[in-house]
Structure 1
Amino acid sequence: MATVLMVSVLAVTGCSTDTSAKEPQHSNPAATQQESTVTAELRDIVATYSTNTVVQKDGTYAVLTPARASFKPKVKVGDQVKKGDILGMSGDAQLVAAADSKVVFIQASEPDLPENYPVIALRYSGFSLQLKDESPSGLGSVEQLQGAFQIEKGPGPSDCQAIAIASGTESLVADETAAGASPPDQVLSENSETNAFTPEASVRLTTGGLLCLIDKSVPVQLGQQATIVLHGIKRSQVLALPVTAVAGRQAKGKVTLVQNTKSQPVEVGLGISDGSLIEITSGLKAGDQVNSVAPNLDPRGK
């Protein structure tokens, strides 16, 4: 499991000592936090995510439908495809390969599939880095992502050849199969032991996390430690605060609004973050002052 690099900056105040007194006098931390404020300002933000992971081989990635539409495959299981090759059609949208890969799983034609439905899986015969954490979901669509990585005590930094959605397969229990969750004529998959491609009534495609596909010209080794940074969507002149002033990182959070020396907790809507700043989508306006330290820092108090 990848370990997310989460950086929390706490405001630290020193102790003041009166040498004429018998005992040193210490400042009140709570009072100091109340007096220390930051201002909600309009800023440019590029969504950023960073984590540690390890080099793995033969990463399998999925292709999803971009919107609700029909699906028609243009390739078959076992085909070797090149980067950019058309794999199928989701309505009028072309589904393409992220890298030179082998098709290992495919959904048969369907007249109506929902958005983000996994329809094709491909195996990249090279090295990759997997991000299993769900936090990258705030970066935007996978097509918008760019990534770079640094191998510990190794070459780099290097760009990811492509960012793709990691995939796998799982077995269905007998009841699900009997109920028609994945009929025999709907899915083909590759048997990892025999390399044979056969209809599978008891297997379905799963997705989870992201893959950074490493170009084959980059000299890396299986199991090496790496740091990866992803950059996603960019938003200009959006209301933002330092992440250290906000409790919460996705969808909604809380801040302590300071007005006329009075403080009150306020719920705010949250957007993208670059690790230093976070977008405020609702609950505050430009110029509002909030406590520089987030409320409820102890997760048990949330």
Structure 2
Amino acid sequence: MTACSPQSSSADTTSTASGATSTVEVRKGGITPLVSSSTSVQLASLFALTAPVKGWFHATADQGTYVHAGDQLGVIDNQSVTTPVDGVIESVTQDNDVAEHYPLFSIRYGGMSAEVDATAMLTIIGSDQRLAGRFQITDAQGPTDCAAIVDDGAVMPASSEQDTAGSSAGPQGAESTRTLQCLFPKDVQARPGQNAVVVLTAPTIEDALILPVTAVAGRLGSGQVSKRDGDSFTTVNVKLGASDGTSIIILDGLKEGDTVASTAPNLAPGAQS
């Protein structure tokens, strides 16, 4: 959610009369970043295993091999590259000095999945966080833990066919979204086309400064709040962190105990926009 910009020469000096405006206080607490999506069940598409660090990569598994969850497929800079689920290796990059996040293997998982656009969350928390996920198929069993959360954004083309469904890379490789797959355990009864809800969560961030999301205009990195300043409210720019959909982390611009309007700037009745 974003609000329209104030019609003022300075984004941090707009003031409004306090009147009967309700307020909330900046407080410290824990927050578990998450993204939730209503989506559809599909056949799992190819996913990539990427380089965890920059370094010299050497493959120890071959294209066409059926591998099991936890198997080592290669080594980079003395770190093992393992697969999170069973599957068939569709492609392998040649031994090379590769950059971090470079795709090393494409794996085909023989099960169902659901895709989630996690662009906003990953922009805030970074791509190195280990995510967990649960899904619920409408009118079916669940909720159930995802077998794995895998990235669709860097899949190498298979040697015999083009199968990059769900990849976020465009024709020239320009990435506009970060799509993640929740792979379903194979014992889950699911069919392509069924409706599902998927929730992905990152590790909990403790002792953070937080506000309700309803008090903040903006989401991706920066925003504004109406901070109480005596008998009036001043629009203040803030740096934003992760959100759990209810609360959002304030990284800069406010301190613990500050009071702000419970409604985001320009969303209150009578505010300029």
Same fold per superposition (TM over 0.5):
yes
Q: Is residue 47–residue 106 contact of structure 2 (8 Å, CA) maintained in 1?
A: yes
User: Which residue does the alignment assign to 2:5?
Assistant: none
Shift of 1:32: 7.5
Q: Is residue 106–residue 189 contact of structure 1 (8 Å, CA) maintained in 2?
A: no
Compared with structure 1, are the counterparts of its residues 71 and 288 closer, same or farther at alpha carbon in structure 2 (3 Å cutoff)?
same
Distance in 1 (CA, whole Å) between partners of 2:44 and 2:249 is 37
How many residue pairs get aligned? The number is: 246
Shift of 1:253: 1.3
User: Which residue does the alignment assign to 1:12?
Assistant: none
Name the TM-score, length of structure 1 as normaliser. Answer: 0.74
User: Which residue does the alignment assign to 1:129?
Assistant: 114
Compared with structure 1, are the counterparts of its residues 155 and 142 closer, same or farther at alpha carbon in structure 2 (3 Å cutoff)?
farther
Query: Which residues of structure 2 form unaligned runs of 5+?
Result: 2-15, 163-171
Compared with structure 1, are the counterparts of its residues 164 and 215 closer, same or farther at alpha carbon in structure 2 (3 Å cutoff)?
same
1:89 and 2:75 matched: yes
User: Which residue does the alignment assign to 1:38?
Assistant: 24
The secondary structure found in structure 2 opposite 1:163 is: strand
> Which stretch shifts more, 100-109 or 38-47?
100-109
Following superposition of structure 1 onto structure 2, how do residues 1-302 of structure 1 map, counting pairs within 5 Å?
35-111=21-97, 113-137=98-122, 138-141=124-127, 144-167=130-153, 189-192=158-161, 208-297=178-267
Letter of the 1:100 partner, please give it.
Answer: D
Letter of the 2:48 partner, please give it.
Answer: A
Distance in 2 (CA, whole Å) between partners of 1:33 and 1:129 is 48
Distance in 1 (CA, whole Å) between partners of 2:132 and 2:70 is 17
User: Which residue does the alignment assign to 1:24?
Assistant: none
Distance in 2 (CA, whole Å) between partners of 1:147 and 1:45 is 16
Cα-to-partner distance string for 1:226-279 (whole Å, 9 max, x where unaligned): 001111021111100001111111211111111212211111111111111111
User: Which residue does the alignment assign to 1:172?
Assistant: none
Shift of 1:139: 4.8
Name the TM-score, length of structure 2 as normaliser. Answer: 0.81
Letter of the 2:88 partner, please give it.
Answer: K
Shift of 1:33: 7.8
Distance in 2 (CA, whole Å) between partners of 1:147 and 1:253 is 28
Query: Which residues of structure 1 form unaligned runs of 5+?
Result: 1-5, 7-29, 170-186, 194-202
Compared with structure 1, are the counterparts of its residues 78 and 35 closer, same or farther at alpha carbon in structure 2 (3 Å cutoff)?
same
Distance in 2 (CA, whole Å) between partners of 1:143 and 1:125 is 26
Distance in 2 (CA, whole Å) between partners of 1:291 and 1:165 is 39
Shift of 1:87: 1.6
Distance in 1 (CA, whole Å) between partners of 2:125 and 2:257 is 26
Q: Is residue 33–residue 242 contact of structure 2 (8 Å, CA) maintained in 1?
A: yes
Over alpha carbons, which structure has the higher Rg? 1
Distance in 1 (CA, whole Å) between partners of 2:47 and 2:88 is 10
Letter of the 1:214 partner, please give it.
Answer: F
Give the % identical residues: 34
Letter of the 2:39 partner, please give it.
Answer: T
Shift of 1:114: 2.1
Distance in 2 (CA, whole Å) between partners of 1:160 and 1:188 is 25
User: Which residue does the alignment assign to 1:183?
Assistant: none
Q: Is residue 23–residue 259 contact of structure 2 (8 Å, CA) maintained in 1?
A: yes
Q: Is residue 18–residue 233 contact of structure 2 (8 Å, CA) maintained in 1?
A: no
The secondary structure found in structure 1 opposite 2:41 is: strand
RCO comparison, higher one (Cα < 8 Å, 6+): 2
Compared with structure 1, are the counterparts of its residues 143 and 87 closer, same or farther at alpha carbon in structure 2 (3 Å cutoff)?
farther
